[in-house]
Amino acid sequence: MSSDWPLWEVFVRGRRGLSHTHAGSLHAPDAEMALRNARDLYTRRSEGVSIWVVPASVITASSPDEKDPFFEPASDKAYRHPTFYEVPEGVRNL
C-alpha cells in the first residue's frame, strides 16, 4: 500500500515576471496543500507573487525520440522569420 502523496509541478511568476516559470515539484495530498508548500518552498525569498500548481500526472510532454520530426516544420519554413524578406536599400521604417 502506498500512502505517498501525488506529485505536483510548481510554476511561479516573479514580481516583475511576465509569465509563470516552472520552479520545481513537490508532493502534497491536495491542491491547497501543494500551494501552501510551494509558497514555503519556492517563494521563501520573495521569488514570486503568483503560484500555479499542476498535478504532474496531467502533463503530457513531447517525446525526445521524435524531437526532430516533431519540430521539423519550424526549421523548413524560413518565411516565418522577418529576415527572410528583402527590403530595398533606402526604404525606412519597415
Partner 1 sequence: MTTVLPEQGTDAEAQEFQRAFDTAVAADERIEPRDWMPDDYRATLVRQIAQHAHSEIIGMQPEANWITRAPSLRRKAILLAKVQDEAGHGLYLYSAAETLGVNREELLEKLHSGRQKYSSIFNYPTLTWADVGAIGWLVDGAAITNQVPLCRCSYGPYARAMVRVCKEESFHQRQGYELLLELSRGTEAQHAMAQDAVDRWWWPSLMMFGPPDDESAHSAQSMAWKIKRHSNDELRQRFVDICVPQAEALGLTLPDPDLRWDTESGHWEYGAIDWSEFKAVLRGHGPCNEQRLSQRRAAHESGAWVRAAASAYARKRQPTGARNATGPSPAAEQHVTAGSEGGRPDTDEGPRSREADPR
Residues at the interface with partner 1 (CB under 8 A): 2-9, 13, 20, 24-27, 29-31, 33, 35, 40-41, 44, 49-59, 61, 63-65
Residue that the C-alpha cell 503568483 belongs to: 50
To partner 1, the closest distance from the beta carbon of 46 in angstroms equals 13
- The DSSP-derived string for 14-55 is -TT-SS-EEEEEEE-SSHHHHHHHHHHHHSTTS--SEEEEEE
Shortest distance, CB of residue 57 to partner 1, whole angstroms?
Answer: 6
63 vs 83, which CB is nearer to partner 1?
A: 63
